[in-house]
Amino acid sequence: MALEVASDFKLTVLNPSGRDPEQHFSETIEPGAGEHPPINFHAYAACTRGAFHYDVRRAIAEGTPVLLLLRGEFRASERALGQLKKHGRIVAVSLKETGLHQIAQQLCDRAKLSRFMNILGQADGCIATTPEAAEIYQRARWNHDPATVAFVPTPYPVEDSRWDFSVPPDERSGIFVGTREWDVPSRNHFAALLVARQLCEATGEPVTVLNLDGYKARRLLWELKFPEGKFRVIEDEKSYPDYVRMVARHKIILQLDRSHVPGQVAGDALLARTVCVGGDGAIERTAFPKTCGEGRSFSEIASVALNLLKNAESRGAIVAQSQGIALERLSFQAIRSQLAEFFARFVRK
């Protein structure tokens, strides 16, 4: 199977037996259109104008290379790999959940670990959404060419003006807490809320947090006792564009996540044209090197956040830098080229 040049390269992403419906991505991706926004693993299909499937036969019919996601017990993924290889498809694989805590949780089961090792041994290669996942794949495929594993960050359509959700600087106020999971220790959600409360008291800036976990989480939030009128809890689910529009109205996004995830919080910040402070996700480290949480203590992150809340010029400089980096390394065009070059290696062989 011959691959075309990068501008014509298409990729099929397959989540076997998953819940997301079939989705084809064209050149024009309007915010709010389609079943799923072009983020996370859907973004790999979207940036190549490819397709996202849960049905193996439909994925085979696309006639393109496939990124196969490993989820659940990995049984469906293992069967899908066999069918794809039988029909001559080039297949790269990736765990669907790639935070370090998620990888550890998935691979502590013997049967799942056995399937995982078998799948990685048979696949043509691996696409990793984080550098840490890439290292794990490399070591699991110790007897394969290292070039068959690549870290390719999830792309964001920053070059498309329709996905620019920025608002004027004088219309921005407050802190948006980017995490929301109390029960994931590495998210450090409670600590992030405490830092946000301290910043609120020091600057008067209001704090916004998302709660989709109902009364239980609401009771926990009440215990933090934010200053009167300075704390807003959003409990209604929004479409992705409306969510990013809400984020864009804040001066900064704050988090203390130590999970080494792909980095959707920072990706949201890129589309919102605001600043992401804290977090050690792949997008955070790439697009926000001066404000991310990598190598910084909670106190240092709080200090960075305080300075940015007080200094509009500093915020503008960080946004400008992040957009420049994103255009070069995280845009749809940039990642499409990376994916085309990666899969071309297997054709040359």
CA dist 138 and 231 (Å) reads 45
Q: What residues contact 321, with CB distance under 8 A and at least 6 apart?
A: 290
DSSP string, 27-47: S---TT-SSS-S-HHHHHHHH
Same fold, 6-155+331-348 and 161-328: yes
Residue 32, phi-psi category: left (phi > 0), alpha (psi -120 to 50), beta (remainder): left
pLDDT tens, residue by residue, 132-159? 999 999 999 999 899 999 999 999 999 9
> 251, 304 in Cβ contact below 8 A?
no
3-state secondary structure of 113: helix
In the chain, the largest separation of any two C-alpha atoms, in whole Å, equals: 65
Virtual torsion, Cα 25, 96, 283, 309, nearest 10 deg = 100
Burial class for 15, CB neighbours closer than 10 Å (0-12, 13-18, 19+): buried
Q: What ranges do the domains of the chain cover?
A: 6-155+331-348, 161-328
Helices (H), 153-262: 189-203, 214-222, 240-248
pLDDT at 195: 98
Of the CATH numbers 3.30.300, 3.40.50, 2.60.40, 3.30.70, which one belongs to the domain with range 6-155+331-348? 3.40.50
> What pLDDT does 2 receive?
41
3-state DSSP assignment of residue 151: strand
To 10 degrees, the CA torsion angle through 190, 196, 197, 198? 110
Residues 329, 242: Cα–Cα separation, whole Å = 26
Amino acid at 244: V
Query: What is the pTM assigned to this prediction?
Result: 0.94
Amino acid 1: pLDDT: 40
Other beta carbons less than 10 A from residue 84's beta carbon: 23
The backbone torsions φ and ψ at residue 230, rounded to the nearest 5 degrees and listed phi first, read -110, 10
How do strand 175-177 and strand 149-151 relate by DSSP bridges?
unpaired
Q: Which residues pair with 128 in a beta bridge?
A: 151
CATH architecture of 161-328: 3-Layer(aba) Sandwich (3.40)
211 alpha-carbon distance from chain centroid: 20
List the beta bridge partners of residue 93.
68, 126
Give the position of tokens 């104008």: 49
Neighbours of 338 (CB within 10 A): 18
Q: In whole angstroms, give the CA distance from residue 118 to residue 33.
A: 38
Task: Work out the burial of residue 309: count CB atoms within 10 Å of its CB; fewer than 13 is exposed, 13-18 middle, 19 or more buried.
Answer: buried
Q: Is the dihedral of CA 344, 52, 70, 83 positive or negative?
A: negative
Residue ranges, the chain, pLDDT below 70: 1-6, 348-349
CA dist., res. 286 & res. 79, Å (int): 35
Q: Are 326 and 274 in contact (CB under 8 A)?
A: no
